[in-house]
Structure 1
Amino acid sequence: MNQLFRPGSSHLLTPLTKILMTGVLLIPTIQISIANEPITQEKTQYSHQQQTYQQKTENNSFWAKWLLNQVMSLPLFQAMEKGMLVASDQQKAMQQSVYNPELGAFYTDKDDDEYGMMISQTIDWFDKRSANSQLGQNNYDLVLLENHLKIENSLSQALFAYIEFIMSKQLLEISKKQEVLLTKLSVELRKREAAGDVGQIDAEMAYLSLSQNLQQISLTEIRYRRASAQLIQSIGSSRIAAHPKTSVWFNNINANEVSKHLNTGYKIEYAQKQLDESISHSKIALLNKKVNPTIGLGAGRDGDENTILFEISIPLNVLNTFSSEYSAALHKVNQSEFELKEDQRLVKNDIEQSFNNYTQLKARVLSWQKLMGNRLKNSEKLLKRQWKSGDISTSNYLFALKQRTDALVANIELKGEMQKAWVEWLLASSQIKDWLYNLK
């Protein structure tokens, strides 16, 4: 199973090549009715089809798999697969011997010809190979962690785009319903005005409300188109195959869980691994200051005599002592240490802020639901009935309709912000992939 996508897995495990061949990416292509398009069936089959459709489109696991499949099908993840192949080969290269043997031959033209062959080998006296191998492992781990971060960011952008798309779609539906209502109202007022039942001022107010609503529709349509474009950019499509249940956005986070994530997560691991990489570079820089001897053995002829050759050489770090490289490597270690502390500070701030935002917004949503309940459900019909019976004036009727619309919009905006805050919490604590994977 794909270690990058398995919840609770160790982060530094299998190459992405194997990962992308199994697990999430092999989720079958979803072929069901699109949730944001109307279902047109024969009347005799409509009830059964609608029930099946609701079961599919309101399933948390089905929605999560669909979202994962969409995101993981993007070209970015194919590039990640190739990047892991590069990192794997580079890691193997760093594990190889530092020095290859050398084969040499010589010939001296004199009265008695002298010639021979020699093989020489530079001795890795201070074990530079192990230092290179450790650096290669650190580099590989960095690429793997970077891919984890890319996955978390890509999934978060997909979730943000999904939430914004649903919000803008709902807001557009409200605006269009309001337009239909106000259009019917203006027609009815025109008839009543001609009959002398209402004054001209009431009709004018209805027209003004309709013109304001037209502006709102235009702005909402722009928001909807932008959300659609962002959704296509994030998941490669604007067709939504499923929706989660509403309860998926209502979660409990305790203080202990917040503390647990303060010093963990992919960002902290990535910064720590960068520090390890800097330390590995400093060790190699120190080894470069030291010299390794080269030993050679050979055989030859000097006239009529056989000769055995032995040679030893030691480089002299006189013109270049490699001290500057070592000093730079030490400074890089210090820089990485401070960068780790800065990342820890930022992650701590992100986690605490996202926790506070989500808990407060969830409390506001629950308070709104408790306050409003089902009051808005039949309020439109009730207001219209009272207006037609003359219990309320046209101006009060229009004002009440506006208040009702504002309440519906506020509910959508508040829920959307709460959902975004939940995604921000998951992103700050590096849990998006695991959360989606474990949804049931």
Structure 2
Amino acid sequence: MNILRVYTLGLVLLLCAPLASANEQDWARWLQGRLAELPASGAIQARLDADLADSRALAEPLYNPELNIGYENSAETTRTVGLSQTLDWSGKGRVGGRVGEVAADLARVRGEKAAAGLTADALRALIDFDAARARLAAAREQEQRLRRLTELVRRRERSGDLGRVDASLAYLSLARVQRALAEAESAATAATVVLRERLAVTAPGRPLPDAERWRPLAGEPDAGARLPYSYDLRLAERQLSLAERASDLARKEKNTDPTLGLRAGREGGESLWGLDFSLPLPLFNTGAPEYQAALAGTERRRALLEKTRNDLLARLEGALTDYRQRRQRWRQWRHLADAPLADSGDLLERVWRQGELTTQDYLRALDERLQTRQAGVELRQAMQRAWVHWLYESAGLSGWLRGLADAPAPAGEPAVTEASVTEASVTKQGTTP
């Protein structure tokens, strides 16, 4: 009989797998659409456009030509028109263009980090909203069971089948659960407020993917391999490159650039032309302090890059370890408690009705059952938040969402076997329509 039940459950999971994948696709695409429509996303794009425009300005030519018009009224009237141009002989413009390229790259990485932060905040809000609704559902179910119990207790008390002490315990338990219910309702309201702030919705448009989907879509994550993709490391690398280009520009700016002018006109009845040449003499302002400051800034950025690399590797390894530990604890809870919780409430009530369980033991069992459900919700929530934290630190959020949105079935999906079916009694979540 047990073997038949296992194979039946395995068949059900196989048949439900395409539907689950479709729901995950819908959720990921809905979230991507909502994020794209947020005013915050528009602000990030506008900031990126402004930064890119500033970077293009660095590549503009340094000097514009100057138009000179002269008029002199003396013994003979002199009228001249001239054009002068400062020449970038030292190559400041070329270096400025390279500074602009690095600045544009830096702006793009900043935009990616800002967008990833927006996505991470939205995911945390969805996770917290789902957990708050699950806690509220558990508290409401507990209240309903206790109300049903008190009605039965009241009838049995009137018939003399139950003592006054047992009846008092039932009434007190129902009164006590009101506090848990009030806290759950308040937490659900707060989670709704945060969700409105993050995604401008009062409820998710799609249910969250099953808790089993909060994991890598293919292969196992590796902290060292993801380090080069970290936003903070890429920013530190670009900032070092920008400091190096800035020091090159400061070195070029120590050199002065000449100005060449050409003028033509008439003096009295005669035509005239002239050539002007000027060159600033760097006698007082040599630009050496600025160049030394730029060199020191470059060395500072180089040292900060090494520190950032070490710090980020530690953070990545810590985030990955934390996720794996929390996932392990949640899976252990599910293996131990998920199946017993499914029918324990009705079983406890039936045993109590049959007189095989005292009212005090029944109330204690109901309380333990509620605490176990709440523990499962907290473990699942912590696991999901740890996964989002790892993805943000490793710059993998957008890739994970794209994988859910584009792939009907994640690569490396384990086959449904007798052992996996026995373990995988999945707790569904995200029941909000």
Asked if these proteins are the same fold (TM beyond 0.5), I'd say yes
SS of structure 2 residue aligned to 1:308: strand
Q: Does 1:314 align with 2:279?
A: yes
Partners of 2:109 and 2:63 lie apart in 1 by 31
The aligned amino acid for 2:225 is K
The aligned amino acid for 2:158 is A
Partners of 1:249 and 1:277 lie apart in 2 by 38
Mapping of residues 57-72 of structure 1, within 5 Å:
59-72=23-36
Greater RCO structure (CA 8 Å; 6+ sep): 2
TM-superposition CA deviations, 1:85-142 (whole Å, max 9, x none): 3334333333222111222233444445554333221110111111221222222222
TM-score, length basis structure 1: 0.82
* Conserved 8 A contact 1:57-1:242: no
Displacement of 1:188: 1.8
Displacement of 1:334: 2.7
* Conserved 8 A contact 1:301-1:307: yes
Mapping of residues 157-306 of structure 1, within 5 Å:
157-243=121-207, 244-251=209-216, 257-302=222-267, 305-306=270-271
Partners of 1:110 and 1:162 lie apart in 2 by 83
Partners of 1:249 and 1:89 lie apart in 2 by 39
Partners of 1:259 and 1:70 lie apart in 2 by 32
Say if 1:58 and 1:215 are closer, same or farther in 2 by CA, change over 3 A: farther
- Percent identity for Structure 1 against Structure 2: 29
Displacement of 1:255: 7.1
Q: Select which of 60, 68, 76 maps to 2:40.
A: 76
* Conserved 8 A contact 2:192-2:203: no
Displacement of 1:170: 0.7
Partners of 1:70 and 1:358 lie apart in 2 by 27
Say if 1:131 and 1:385 are closer, same or farther in 2 by CA, change over 3 A: same
Q: Does 1:323 align with 2:288?
A: yes
Residue aligning to 2:370 = 405
SS of structure 1 residue aligned to 2:161: coil
Q: What 5-or-longer segments of structure 2 have no aligned partner? A: 1-14, 408-433
Q: Select which of 59, 62, 75 maps to 1:95.
A: 59
Partners of 1:255 and 1:330 lie apart in 2 by 42
Deviates more, 1:429-438 or 1:401-410: 401-410
TM-superposition CA deviations, 1:11-59 (whole Å, max 9, x none): xxxxxxxxxxxxxxxxxxxxxxxxxxxxxxxxxxxxxxxx99x948961
Residue aligning to 1:43 = none
TM-superposition CA deviations, 1:133-177 (whole Å, max 9, x none): 122222222221111011111111111111111111011011011
Displacement of 1:370: 2.3
Q: Does 1:366 align with 2:366?
A: no
* Conserved 8 A contact 1:107-1:114: yes
Displacement of 1:307: 3.6
The aligned amino acid for 1:68 is Q
SS of structure 2 residue aligned to 1:298: strand
C-alpha RMSD of matched pairs (Å): 2.5
Q: Does 1:138 align with 2:102?
A: yes
TM-superposition CA deviations, 1:246-304 (whole Å, max 9, x none): 43124488777221112332221112112222222222222222101111222344556
Deviates more, 1:214-223 or 1:54-63: 54-63
The aligned amino acid for 2:307 is E
Partners of 1:360 and 1:258 lie apart in 2 by 15
Q: How many positions carry a matched residue from both structures? A: 389
**Greater share of helix residues, 1 or 2?**
2
Q: Select which of 410, 423, 428 maps to 2:393.
A: 428
TM-superposition CA deviations, 1:294-326 (whole Å, max 9, x none): 112223445565443122111123342233332
